[in-house]
Structure 1
Amino acid sequence: MLPATNQRVESHTCEAINREIAEQTQSRIAHYSTKSSREISERLRELDHEWDIERALECNASALAFSGVMLSATVDKRWLILPGLVTGFLFQHALQGWCPPLPILRRMGFRTSAEINEERYALKALRGDFERVNSSDSGQRDPRAAMAAAAQ
């Protein structure tokens, strides 16, 4: 059975690393709880540019595969084994959430998109983005306000 998409990486990461990443996120959220809306917005812009683990794996895999193809074309055909291995590991990662570089990248601090979004939505809540969702007049929720808060 394949793991859930949003749990693939965490389930194949050492618990100590997962805990460290979670603690760092909680620490950043606590830090920004005393900051202004402008400073929180700056952090949210930083999060928009943070590479998640998937992007890092895709970049590394494509660079290695391309290098293998180029080396096979210019040096020795045996270099074709490199893109074969890399694409096999990338396929394994897509299905299971694990591949050889995953533990290294996680130790380097690469987070999943879910982990990044957890920080993003906590910061948005601190900034007050979700207060507009509940209409105080009618007691009903405003779906447009919910979409606007989620998109900010």
Structure 2
Amino acid sequence: MADYFAEAGGWQTSAGIDAARRRDWRQRVAALRNDDRAAMIDQRLRELEHEWDIERALQFGFAAAGLFGLAFVAGRKPPWHLLAAVVPAVMLEGAVQGWSPAHAWLRRLGLRTAREIGDERFALKAMRGDFAGIGSHRNEDAVRLATLR
């Protein structure tokens, strides 16, 4: 699913949820900038490497539900056949429409898109000085640009 859903006009979730996610990571980045703690930035970057985005969580959930449904289809009564059919149907709907019913639920649980995680990672790397030698822009400008995304 990569970041297809996020790029295809957004996930159609509440604007308040999306704004809260952006505000949360910007506040985390701003707090690190004020404290100027390189170790904290490195720790947060390690945490981001292991954070699951919505697309990964949906892939895992659909795969697990599909396997569960298939395991119970063999020799069982028809209600289990329905589960095995519904999972691919919901996945297909997400691919065609760019929206999944599970997305709003996952957003409320705090999961973010790959792009949102990448934006925070970029801002942290800019604060750490990873882009200091690139181009003629100063590091502070890169941090400011990253937090405005």
Q: TM bucket by the smaller chain?
A: 0.7 to 0.9
Is contact 2:11-2:103 (8 Å) kept?
A: no
1:46 positional shift:
0.6
Which range moves more in the overlay, 67-76 or 112-121?
67-76
For residue 132 of structure 1, give the secondary structure of its aligned residue in structure 2. coil
1:70 positional shift:
0.9
Consecutive unaligned residues of structure 2, counting only runs of 5 or more, are: 137-149
Q: Percent identity?
A: 37
1:76 positional shift:
2.2
> What residue in structure 2 maps to residue 97 of structure 1?
98
Letter in 2 for 1:95: V
TM-score (norm 2): 0.80
Give the superposed CA RMSD: 2.0
Consecutive unaligned residues of structure 1, counting only runs of 5 or more, are: 136-152
1:48 positional shift:
0.5
> What residue in structure 2 maps to residue 84 of structure 1?
85
CA distance change for structure 1 residues 18 and 84 in 2, over 3 Å: closer, same or farther? same
Letter in 1 for 2:69: G
CA deviation map 1:79-137 (0-9, x unaligned): 122121111111221233311111100111110000000000000111111102237xx
TM-score (norm 1): 0.79
> What residue in structure 2 maps to residue 25 of structure 1?
25
1:21-60 → structure 2 map (5 Å cutoff): 21-33=21-33, 34-60=35-61
Q: CA–CA distance in 1 between the matches of 2:47 and 2:36? A: 15
